[in-house]
Amino acid sequence: MYERTESEYYRAKLKAAHRICKGWVKPADLPSNAEVRDQIQMFARLHEGDSRKENLRTMRLESLYMMQLLAAYKPRLIGSVFTGHIRAGSDIDIHVFTDSIEAITLILEEEGFVFDVERKQVRKNGEETTFTHIHIQAEFPFELTLYPHNKAHYVFKSSITGKAIERASINELKQFLEKEYSGIDLESELESLNDRVDRFQYFESLLYPLENVMQSPIYHPEGDALYHSLQVFDLACDVHPYDEEFLLAALLHDVGKAIDAYDHVNAGLEALESFVSHRTHWLIEHHMDCHKIRGGTIGARAHRRLKASEDYQELIQLGEIDRKGRRCGVPTSSVPDAIECIRALAGQFG
């Protein structure tokens, strides 16, 4: 459950019991959902360290920011972000009460959020109910669950404890944050969230202009720079599927070509300066040196400097897939798919 290959408590317990006991186990002998949750939290504390506390603080502030946007629809924060039981990949879960899904999606569109709507049918006690969820893609993803406006005061039960779920309105969340984080300036914190740039949307804005950058057919028979970049990204996924920094270097290595065709490396680095890690920056900065290394035209001193880096082998791999990503007619990921892949990695692994 920590790795999210299983999401249902009861099903996970049955699988574990079958694996350990090699047969049927009485439900009464299984651990409670709360006991399982506590073990998952132990894993989170062990594997995620201090970053978990900082992520929890940020997620709670993000929750308040979103709830204020949706204030007219009585939003309530529920789940692990409120209780503190988060782990890598946790969503921010908010209940919203409205009879119009369009009212919510319009707000999200105006604010520039990327999201999708899911309608999920659940059969319980012989009755089938359709739940509407809005999944918002962000550094910390949201799941909004929509209920009719007259359900705002309905008492929902927790699947973990069987008791009424813990939830907070906007004012209750503010009071909770001021108590939990002594001296916090909520107004200043929310203002900084409002002014922030979503780096993934920014990456998209740098990628799309590459579609209009036609390259030399001698070196790039595949055509435009965007098609090439997406080929390189797909090849990078085969080599290092869980390395966010390497995947970003592969996807963004040529974004400077739409800015300055004569100095695309430095132009791209300048555009990406505050949005990528030092390692991604270094890989992009030196990806053209790979062609000199392969051709034997790089100076000995420059080559020694590169080889001294712990990322040298990944740089060579980037150069290899840069050369391979020049095929005609091959299918590739779309820009939204590539961005969503990296966004998911960032959410899962921090």
Closest Cα to residue 101, out of 112, 90, 116, 114?
Answer: 116
Which residues on neighbouring strands pair with residue 136, listed in sequence order?
A: 115, 142
Flag whether the pTM goes above 0.75: no
Separation CA 287–CA 311 (nearest Å): 12
Closest Cα to residue 60, out of 79, 38, 37, 41?
Answer: 79
Per-residue pLDDT in tens (0 to 9) along the chain, 350 residues = 776 677 677 788 888 888 888 777 787 788 888 788 778 767 766 666 667 788 899 999 999 999 999 999 999 999 889 988 887 778 899 999 999 999 999 999 888 788 899 998 877 667 788 899 999 988 788 999 999 999 988 888 876 667 888 999 999 999 999 999 999 999 999 988 877 778 888 899 999 999 999 999 998 999 999 999 999 999 999 999 999 999 999 999 999 999 998 999 999 999 998 899 999 999 999 999 999 999 999 999 999 999 999 999 999 999 999 999 999 999 999 999 999 899 888 876 65
- In 269-340 the beta strands, taken as DSSP E runs, fall at none
Cα 208 to Cα 204, 259, 287, 345, distances in angstroms: 6, 12, 21, 22
Residue 314's pLDDT is 97
Separation CA 337–CA 201 (nearest Å): 12
Residue 26's pLDDT is 80
- In 75-190 the beta strands, taken as DSSP E runs, fall at 76-78, 92-97, 114-124, 127-137, 142-147, 167-168
343 residue type, one letter = R
Residue 299's pLDDT is 95
Which residues on neighbouring strands pair with residue 118, listed in sequence order?
A: 133
Residue 160's pLDDT is 61
Q: Which two tokens stand for residue 301?
A: 């001193």
Q: Given CA atoms 145, 150, 155, 159 in this order, what sign does their dihedral have?
A: negative
Closest Cα to residue 60, out of 160, 179, 223, 234?
Answer: 179
79 residue type, one letter = G
Q: Check: CB of residue 322 under 8 Å from CB of residue 236.
A: no
Q: What domains appear along the chain, each with residue ranges and CATH number?
A: 47-195 (3.30.460), 199-349 (1.10.3210.10)
Residue 255's pLDDT is 96
Separation CA 217–CA 343 (nearest Å): 33
Cα 197 to Cα 112, 136, 336, 341, distances in angstroms: 11, 16, 17, 19
